[in-house]
Amino acid sequence: MPTYALADMLPDFGAPPPPLRPAQPVVQEPAPRPVRVLPEEELRSRVEAAVREAEAAVEARLAEAHAQALAEIEARHAAELERLHSELGEQAGRAIAERLDRMESDLVALTSAVVARMLGVSLTEDVKRHALDELRRSILAAVGDRDAARIRIKGPLFLYEALKPGLARFADGIEFTEEPGFDLAVSIDTSLFETRLGDWSTALSEVLT
């Protein structure tokens, strides 16, 4: 461990003095400028001008913001109208197409029904004519050469009227009884003849429906 003597702790009085530091220059601060007090009228005028400028700036910013918001609303409104028009157009197009399809189906069904009924009427007339011709031939064959034969006929009047011209020479011996239905029944002595138009009418109605 090192040891120190008293001489080591004392300053060296024989050493030359340290050099003196140069004196710092004194900086003089500028004197404060005198505060100019504005007259009350001029101060009020400046304040009012500043307020007007601030209000004008605020109004300009508000007008710009309002115009921008209005433009955005109009753009959204236009887009919504375009979307609605598009949707309405699509819905109207679908409705018209569906209606046209239904009309076409109804027209086809109606045309088919009309054609079927016309065909049915034509076929019915042919069948009626054929049945009455067969009935007339059967009656003539049963009567033979007898002019005074007693012929009893039952059935609807319209069929009897269609059959009667073919039996003109037996007019005095015909006994007609009108009955509802679609068939004529003819009895000569013990012979019985009849049409089958009722069966034909039922079958035709089932086909047409």
SS3 31: coil
User: Domains of the chain by range and CATH?
Assistant: 127-208 (3.30.2320)
Angle formed by the axes of helices 40-143 and 197-208, to 10°?
160
More confident of the two residues 145 and 152: 152
| Mean pLDDT in residue range 143-168 | 77
Q: Which residues contact 204 (CB under 8 A, 6 or more apart)?
A: 120, 123, 124
Arithmetic mean of pLDDT over the chain: 70
Cα separation, 57 vs 155, whole angstroms: 109
Token pair 């009656």: residue: 139
Q: Is the pLDDT of residue 62 over 80?
A: yes
Where b means 16+ CB within 10 Å and e means fewer, 77-86 reads eeeeeeeeee
Q: Which of 8-12, 118-122, 145-149 has the lowest mean pLDDT?
A: 118-122
**Lowest mean pLDDT across 50-54, 63-67, 185-189:** 185-189
Structure confidence at residue 69 (pLDDT): 85
Residue 186 binned pLDDT confidence (cut-offs 50, 70, 90):
confident
Higher pLDDT pick, 114 / 125:
125
Which pLDDT value is given to residue 7? 52
Tell me the pLDDT tens digit for each residue of 20-60. 566 566 555 665 665 565 677 877 888 888 888 888 888 88
Q: Which residues on adjacent β-strands are paired with residue 176?
A: 153
